[in-house]
Amino acid sequence: MDSTLRNIWFLNFSTFFFFLGISLTNPIVPPFVITLGATPFVVGLIAGVTSLLSLASKPIGGFIGDRGYRLEMMMIGNVISFISGMLYVVSAYLHSLTVFALARALHGFSMGIFFPSSLSTAVDLAPSGRIGETLGWRGMMFSLGNIIGPALGGYLSDYVGFGGAFSFVSIFSLAGFLFVIPVWKDVGKAYHRELKRKNVRYHALLRITFVSASAALLFFSASYSGVLTFLPAFYKSLGFPQRIFGLYMMVVGVTSFITRLIGGKTADRIGPIPVSIVGILIVVCGYLLLDFMTLPPGSYLSAVLIGAGFGLAVPAMQMMALAPLPESIRSMGSSVYTMFFDLGMLGGQVTLGYVADVSGSYKTVFSVLPVLGGMALGSVILPKVWGENRARAD
């Protein structure tokens, strides 16, 4: 394995462990805050704190990353995540909603620091003509975290308690930090010098492919927040153990893992827009099925479709947004692009939490998800309507 591929895979492993720590919390955050007496609206607010702080910190991570410190941002993001994991444990032992909200905020801040550089380095280091494939491999590491993390979090919380489960956030963050170090030693100085020489012109972010992909991600993540936040809350309200939703997310992760590389390689061959369209359509079908069959085991069929669609669409949408951008602004481009993910998650969690509160049922949320998915589909089609030739000119 040459040094470039080795560095790509070290960063992929760092991404895996970082997001393993995040996905581990997904099935246990809503049930945990419910045990602290939170209402459905407060469940949405607590979940949204992470997205809010991630949103606020991404411009910081993007700006510093574009100055040549992308690898440093990945290391710092893991360190902050380590600290947030320790605060999760403290909140569990103190039974404190305030400490838990602080931990969620800090975890969100770490995401904003880590994510832009993690995504932009994958595009930077990709071999010629293989950007989609490289993003696909990176996405597979993300999906692998979603396969292992939710199931692990569900089982750990059932058998060793919430505090024991939350302690693994710090363990995985430490592993993520250690994988960046050899890459930083190998290419950190050269990376810094190369980026410092390039002009930073952020007006390139206004091109239609970047704008439409960002808008699509906004609605995509808003719809996904309904699954991530309110399906475990719905199962908890019915008395199901946390591992039921952990298994659901494991199915999502497995199918997403399988299709990520397919989506990336296909985007390299035929372009990212057709692949994004097909992926989003599959996700919308999954949402319709979830609304029809919300309880397990039937609900796991929707998990198959949602995961498969995400696996196809996500690397294609990332390629659509970031590949045309100049390298000198790719970290900020990654920041702005993924900020729309946080906006969608935050808006979805708060708005859908309000819907659940007003209707008196978490199940009402699942009827809204296909509409949000349809809005994502309309956004990703926009460059086709605009005209591909004009999009290239922009």
Cα 223 from Cα 366, distance rounded (Å)? 9
Q: What is the pLDDT of residues 256-288, one digit of tens each?
A: 888 988 999 999 999 999 999 999 999 999 999
Q: Print the SS3 string covering the chain.
A: CCHHHHHHHHHHHHHHHHHHHHHHHCCCHHHHHHHCCCCHHHHHHHHHHHHHHHHHHHHHHHHHHHHHHHHHHHHHHHHHHHHHHHHHHHHHHHCCHHHHHHHHHHHHHHHHHHHHHHHHHHHHHCCCCCHHHHHHHHHHHHHHHHHHHHHHHHHHHHHHHHHHHHHHHHHHHHHHHHHHHHHHHHHHHHHHHHHHCCCCCHHHHHCHHHHHHHHHHHHHHHHHHHHHHHHHHHHHHCCCCHHHHHHHHHHHHHHHHHHHHHHHHHHHHHCHHHHHHHHHHHHHHHHHHHHHCCCCCCHHHHHHHHHHHHHHHHHHHHHHHHCCCCHHHHHHHHHHHHHHHHHHHHHHHHHHHHHHHHHCCHHHHHHCHHHHHHHHHHHHHHHHHHCHHHHHHC
pLDDT score of 77 more than 50: yes
pLDDT digits (tens, 9 = 90+) for 330-385: 888 888 998 898 788 878 888 888 888 888 888 889 999 999 999 999 999 988 77
Mean pLDDT over residues 86-110, rounded? 90
pLDDT (average), residues 308-322:
92
Which tens digit of pLDDT belongs to each residue from 208-245?
Answer: 889 999 999 999 999 999 998 889 888 888 888 877 88
- Structural domains present in the chain: 3-393 (1.20.1250.20)
Percent of the chain with pLDDT over 90: 38
What distances in angstroms separate CA 234 from CA 34, 161, 207, 219, one per listed residue? Answer: 11, 20, 41, 22
What is the per-residue pLDDT for 197? 61
pLDDT at 14 over 80: yes
Of the pLDDT bands very low, low, confident and very high (cuts 50, 70, 90), residue 392 is very low
Question: Model pTM greater than 0.85?
Answer: no
| Residues 171-194 pLDDT 10s | 999 999 999 999 998 877 776 666
